[in-house]
Chain A
Amino acid sequence: MDSTTANTENRLSIAGATCQGCARKIRVALEPLIADNAAVDVDIEQKTVTLPAGIDPADAVRRITEAGYPAEILHAGPAAAKSCCASKTTSSCDSKKSDSEETEPPAPKPTTSSNARNDSNENDDGIQLAITGATCASCVSSIEKALKSVSGVTHAHMNLADNTASASGQVTPQALINAIESAGYGASVIEDPDTADERRQQQDRKRYRTLMVKMAVSLSLGVGLMIWGMGFGSMTVDAGNQTTWINLGILTLGVMIATGSHFFTSAWKAFLHHNANMDTLVALGTGTAWIYSMVVAVFPEALPEMARHVYFEASAMIIGLINLGQALELRAKGKTSEAVRRLLDLRAKTARVIRDGQEQDLPIEQVRKGDQIRVRPGEQLPVDGVVLEGNTRIDESMLTGEPMPVSKGEGDDVSAGTLNTRGSIVYEATRVGSDTALAQIIRLVKKAQGSKPSIGRLADKISSVFVPSVMLIAIAAALVWYNLGPDPVIAHMMVAATTVLIIACPCALGLATPMSVMVGVGKAAEYGALIRQGEALQTAGKINLVILDKTGTITAGEPAVTQVHVVEGDESHLLALAAGLEQHSEHPLAHAIMEKVRQDTIQPADITGFDSLNGKGVAGEHNGDTLRLGNRRWLEDEGLDVTPLDQAAQSITDNAGTPLFVALGTRVMGVIGVADAIKPDSRAAIKRLHQAGIKVMMVTGDVDATAKAICASAGIDDYRAEVLPEDKANVVNDMRKKGYTVAMVGDGINDAPALAAADVGFAIGTGTDVAIESAAITLMRGSLHGVPDAIEISRATVKNIHQNLFGAFVYNSLGIPIAAGLLYPLWGILLSPIIAGAAMSMSSVTVVTNANRLRLFKTSYKINNSSKQEQNQ
Chain B
Amino acid sequence: MTSFLVNLTGLALMAAVVWWFWLAPTDSKTQR
Known: A149-B27, A149-B28, A274-B26. A472 touches B6 (CB 8 A): no
Contact (Cβ within 8 A) A482 B6: yes
Question: A330 on the interface (CB 8 Å rule)?
Answer: no
Within 8 A of A (CB), among B1-32: 3, 6-7, 10-11, 13-14, 17-18, 20-22, 24, 26-28, 31-32
Q: Which of A110-157 contact B (CB under 8 A)?
A: 145-146, 148-151
B26 closest partner in A (C-beta): A274
Report if A482-B7 is in contact (Cβ < 8 Å); known contacts: A149-B31, A149-B32, A151-B31: yes
Task: Evaluate whether A274 and B7 lie within 8 angstroms (CB atoms) in the complex, with A149-B28, A182-B27 already known.
Answer: no
Give chain B residues whose Cβ lies under 8 Å from the Cβ of A471: 17
Compute how far the CA of A479 lies from the CA of B10 in the bound complex, rounded to whole angstroms.
7
* Nearest CB of chain B from residue A277's CB, rounded to whole Å: 11
Find out whether the CB atom of A483 lies under 8 angstroms from the CB atom of B3: yes
A699 at the interface (CB under 8 A from B): no
CA distance A182 to B3 in the complex (A): 40
- Is the beta-carbon distance between B10 and A274 smaller than 8 angstroms? no
> Which residue of the partner chain, among B17, B20, B31, contacts A475 with CB atoms under 8 Å?
B17
Interface residues as binary, A459-478 with B (CB distance below 8 Å gives 1, 0 otherwise): 00000010110011001101
Enumerate chain B residues within 8 angstroms of A145, measured Cβ to Cβ.
Answer: 28
Q: Is A207 an interface residue (CB 8 A)?
A: no
Is there contact, CB below 8 Å, between A472 and B14?
yes
Across-interface contacts of A475 in B (CB, < 8 A):
10, 13-14, 17
A276: CB under 8 A from chain B?
A: yes
Please measure, in the bound complex, the distance between the C-alpha atom of A467 and the C-alpha atom of B20, giving whole angstroms: 12
Distance between Cα atoms of A276 and B17 in the complex (Å): 10
Indicate whether A853 reaches chain B with its CB closer than 8 angstroms.
no
Given the complex of chains A and B, what is the CA–CA distance between A471 and B17 in angstroms?
Answer: 8
The residue of chain B having its C-beta at the shortest distance from the C-beta of A275 within the complex is B21
Name the residue among A274, A476, A478 with the largest chain B CB count within 10 angstroms.
Answer: A274
Docked-complex contact A476 and B14, CB < 8 angstroms: yes
Q: Is the beta-carbon distance between B27 and A468 smaller than 8 angstroms?
A: no
A274→B20 contact, CB < 8 A: yes
Chain A residues with CB below 8 A from B14, complex form: 472, 475-476
A598 near B: Cβ within 8 Å? no
| A868 sits at the interface (CB 8 A) | no
Bound CA–CA A479/B12 (angstroms): 12
B-side contacts of A271, CB under 8 Å: 20
Distance in angstroms between the alpha carbons of A347 and B3 in the assembled complex: 70
Q: Is the CB of A468 within 8 A of B32?
A: no
Q: Choose among B7, B11, B22, B28 the residue that contacts A468 (Cβ–Cβ < 8 A).
A: B22
Asked, given contacts A149-B31, A482-B7, whether A274 binds B13 with beta carbons under 8 Å apart, the answer is no
Give complex CA distance A479, B4 in Å: 11
In angstroms, Cα B1 to Cα A329, docked, is 48
Contact A276 B21 (CB under 8 A): yes
Q: Is A273 positioned at the interface, with any CB of B under 8 Å from its CB? A: yes
Contact A468 B24, beta carbon cutoff 8 Å: no
Closest Cβ–Cβ distance, residue B4 to chain A (whole Å): 11
CB-defined contacts of A468 to chain B, threshold 8 Å: 17-18, 21-22
Q: Would you call B28 and A472 a contact (CB within 8 A)?
A: no
Q: How far is the CB of B12 from chain A (nearest CB, A)?
A: 10
Contacts of B26 in A (CB 8 A): 273-274
Chain A residues near B17: list those with CB within 8 A. 468, 471-472, 475
Contact assessment for B28 and A482 in the assembled complex, using a CB-CB cutoff below 8 Å = no
Residues 146-170 of A contacting B (Cβ, < 8 Å): 146, 148-151
List residues of chain B with CB within 8 A of the CB of A467: 21
Question: A482 — which chain B residues lie within 8 A by C-beta?
Answer: 3, 6-7, 10
Across-interface contacts of B3 in A (CB, < 8 A): 482-483
Please indicate which of the listed interface residues B17, B28, B32 has the most CB atoms of chain A within 10 Å of its own CB. Answer: B28
Q: Is the CB of B7 within 8 A of A273?
A: no
Find out whether the CB atom of B24 lies under 8 angstroms from the CB atom of A274: yes
Interface pair A274/B31, CB less than 8 Å apart: no
Q: In whole angstroms, what is the CA distance A465 to B23 when docked?
A: 12
Residues of A near B11 (CB, < 8 A) are 479
Docked complex Cα distance between A635 and B24 (Å): 91
Enumerate chain B residues within 8 angstroms of A273, measured Cβ to Cβ.
26-27
Contacts of B24 in A (CB 8 A): 274
Residue from B7, B20, B27 in contact with A483 in the complex, judged by beta carbons closer than 8 Å: B7
Least CB distance from A5 to B in Å reads: 42
Query: In the complex, how many angstroms separate the beta carbon of B29 from the nearest chain A beta carbon?
Result: 8
Closest B residue to A471 using CB positions: B17
Please name all residues of chain A whose beta carbon is closer than 8 Å to the beta carbon of B27 when the two chains form the complex: 149, 182, 273
Measured in the bound complex, the distance between the Cα atoms of B21 and A471 in whole Å is: 11
Binary contact track A476-506/B, C-beta < 8 Å → 1, others 0: 1011001100000000000000000000000
Select which of B7, B18, B28 is within 8 A of A479 by beta carbon: B7
| A678–B17 CA distance with the chains assembled, in angstroms | 67
CB distance from A23 to the nearest CB of B (A): 28
Residues of A within 8 A of B6 (CB): 479, 482
Tell me which of A146, A478, A483 contacts B28 (CB under 8 A): A146
Tell me, rounded to whole Å, the shortest Cβ–Cβ distance linking B22 to chain A.
Answer: 7
CB distance from A467 to the nearest CB of B (A): 8
> Considering the chains assembled together, what is the distance between the CA atoms of A273 and B27 in angstroms?
7
Question: Smallest distance from the beta carbon of A790 to chain B beta carbons, Å?
Answer: 39
Complex Cα distance, B14 from A482, in Å, reads: 15
Q: What is the CB-to-nearest-CB distance from B32 to chain A, in angstroms, rounded to a whole number?
A: 6
CA distance A120 to B20 in the complex (A): 34
Closest chain B residue to A182, Cβ basis: B27
* Residues of the B chain whose Cβ atoms lie less than 8 Å from the Cβ of A476: 10, 14
**Residues in A neighbouring B10, C-beta threshold 8 A:** 475-476, 478-479, 482
Least CB distance, A523 to chain B, in whole angstroms: 37
Distance of A246 Cα from B20 Cα, bound (Å): 34
Determine how close the nearest CB of chain B comes to the CB of A590; give it in whole angstroms. Answer: 69
Q: What is the bound-complex CA distance between A203 and B13, given in angstroms?
A: 39
A162 to B22, CA, bound (A): 29
Bound: A467/B26 CA distance, A: 17
Q: Select from chain B the residue with minimum beta-carbon distance to A145.
A: B28
Which B residues are in CB contact (< 8 Å) with A146? 28
Q: Which residue of A lies closest to B28 (CB)?
A: A149
Q: State in angstroms the CA–CA spacing of A475 and B24 once bound together.
A: 20
- Report the bound CA distance from A786 to B3 in whole Å: 68
Q: A479-B7, A483-B3 are in contact. Are A274 and B21 (CB under 8 A)?
A: yes
Q: Which residue of A lies closest to B22 (CB)?
A: A468
Residues on the B chain within 8 Å of A274, using CB: 20-21, 24, 26
Query: Chain A CB within 10 Å — which of B3, B7, B10, B11 has the most?
Result: B10
Q: How far is the CA of A151 from the CA of B11 in the complex (A)?
A: 38
The CA-CA distance from A482 to B8 in the complex, in Å, is 12
User: A497 — nearest CB in chain B belongs to which residue?
Assistant: B10
B31 smallest CB distance to A (angstroms):
5
Complex Cα distance, B10 from A80, in Å, reads 66
Neighbouring A residues of B20 by C-beta, 8 Å: 271, 274
- Which residues of chain B come closer than 8 Å to A465, judged between CB atoms? 22
Shortest CB distance A595–B (Å)? 66
State A271–B22 Cα separation when bound (angstroms): 12
User: Counting chain A CB atoms within 10 Å of each CB, which of B3, B20, B22 scores highest?
Assistant: B20
A150 to B31 CA separation, bound complex (whole angstroms): 8
The docked-state distance in angstroms from the alpha carbon of A456 to that of B3 is: 44
Distance of A545 Cα from B26 Cα, bound (Å): 48
> What is the bound-complex CA distance between A271 and B20, given in angstroms?
9
CA distance A151 to B21 in the complex (A): 23
Of chain B, the residue at the smallest CB distance from A468 is B21
A533 vs B29: C-alpha distance in the bound complex, in angstroms? 30
Question: Residue of A at shortest CB range from B13?
Answer: A475
- Complex Cα spacing A146 to B28, Å: 6
Q: Which residues in A have their C-beta under 8 angstroms from that of B28?
A: 145-146, 148-149
Known A475-B14, A482-B7; 5 more pairs at CB < 8 Å: A151-B31, A274-B26, A472-B18, A475-B13, A479-B6
Listed A/B pairs (22) with beta-carbon separation below 8 Å: A145-B28, A149-B28, A149-B31, A150-B31, A182-B27, A274-B21, A465-B22, A467-B21, A468-B21, A468-B22, A471-B17, A472-B14, A472-B17, A475-B14, A475-B17, A476-B10, A476-B14, A479-B6, A479-B10, A479-B11, A482-B3, A483-B7
The 6 nearest A-B residue pairs measured at CB? A149-B28, A468-B21, A479-B10, A274-B26, A149-B31, A471-B17
